[in-house]
């Protein structure tokens, strides 16, 4: 982090590698997002090269926070979702640090990063108790935060319900796949939310992912007991959370 309270975050997804400088006082990007295409195949070496390209374009010379669509423990990727299977077992922190000339990096799960950002600057700001962020997309990503403290790698999309993963029942992609109306899909989401709230008893759910832009069409239809509020930061949340992780020294 610079003396001005800025940090650089990068959000790595299946289709794009996006990054920007973040003002940590406000959670706002200081410039338009920079983006390069995620290499195909998205091997660790190819993605690291794309990250180095993006950081060079930004002319950023400090520490860098990065997200991956993977479970990340001690800087190592343990799973791979929407990226090449070669990521499994890769020391991502070491890889990115080497690609960036040996500078300090922090690597964390993409949904965890979004949860940090929404908890600090977005929908869950100033709320106390347990917040559960769920990102509805190809699957269901999740982040658990208690009074701002992240419990990393929750992977609630893989809780079993009715003999299947919850994300196989209610991800946004399932709505499209099965041709569901919003009321039909909201029923499935409600079932998933009731399952999660019966285990964790959260204070609030924050609903993210692209489908949260249409939140008025489905959040009012939910029938679970815990309040559900739409995410605020949307497509900047991963970048902001990655930048925050540097400042907080988070290393799941």
Q: What is the CATH number of the domain that holds 13?
A: 3.30.420.40
Indicate whether 36 and 127 sit together in one domain. no
Q: Which two tokens stand for residue 25?
A: 């006082």
Tens-place pLDDT, residues 158-173:
999 999 999 999 999 9
Enclosing domain of residue 48: 6-110+236-248
In the chain, which residues have pLDDT < 50? 1-3, 251-252
Q: Which two tokens stand for residue 250?
A: 């988070």
Indicate whether 221 and 240 sit together in one domain. no
Indicate whether 169 and 189 sit together in one domain. yes
Indicate whether 241 and 195 sit together in one domain. no
**Predicted local distance difference test score (pLDDT) of residue 248:** 65
Q: How many residues does the chain have?
A: 252
Residue at 115 is within a domain: no
Indicate whether 148 and 194 sit together in one domain. yes
| Number of domains within the chain | 2
**Predicted local distance difference test score (pLDDT) of residue 16:** 94
Residue at 118 is within a domain: no
Write down the H helix ranges in 122-218.
Answer: 166-170, 172-178, 182-200
**Predicted local distance difference test score (pLDDT) of residue 4:** 52
Residue 242 CB-density burial (10 A; 0-12 exposed, 13-18 middle, 19+ buried):
buried
**Predicted local distance difference test score (pLDDT) of residue 250:** 55
């Amino acid at each position: 982090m610079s003396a001005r309270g800025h940090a650089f975050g990068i959000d790595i997804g299946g289709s794009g590698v996006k990054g920007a400088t973040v003002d940590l006082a406000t959670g706002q990007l200081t410039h338009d997002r920079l983006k390069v295409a995620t290499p195909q195949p998205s091997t660790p070496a190819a993605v690291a090269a794309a990250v180095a390209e993006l950081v060079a374009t930004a002319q950023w010379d400090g520490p860098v926070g990065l997200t991956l669509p993977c479970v990340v423990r001690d800087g190592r990727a343990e799973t791979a979702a929407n990226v090449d299977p070669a990521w499994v077992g890769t020391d991502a922190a070491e890889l990115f640090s080497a690609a960036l000339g040996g500078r300090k990096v922090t690597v964390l799960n993409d949904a965890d990063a979004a949860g940090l950002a929404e908890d600090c600057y977005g929908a869950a700001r100033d709320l106390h108790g347990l917040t559960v962020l769920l990102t509805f997309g190809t699957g269901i990503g999740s982040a658990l935060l208690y009074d701002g403290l992240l419990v990393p790698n929750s992977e609630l999309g893989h809780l079993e319900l009715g003999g299947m993963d919850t994300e196989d029942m209610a991800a946004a992609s399932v709505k499209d796949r099965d041709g569901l109306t919003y009321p039909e899909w909201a029923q499935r989401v409600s079932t998933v939310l009731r399952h999660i709230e019966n285990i964790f008893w959260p204070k609030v759910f924050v609903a993210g992912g692209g489908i949260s832009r249409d939140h008025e069409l489905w959040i009012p239809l939910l029938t679970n007991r815990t309040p559900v509020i739409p995410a605020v930061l949307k497509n900047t949340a991963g970048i902001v959370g990655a930048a925050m992780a540097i400042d907080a020294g988070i290393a799941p």
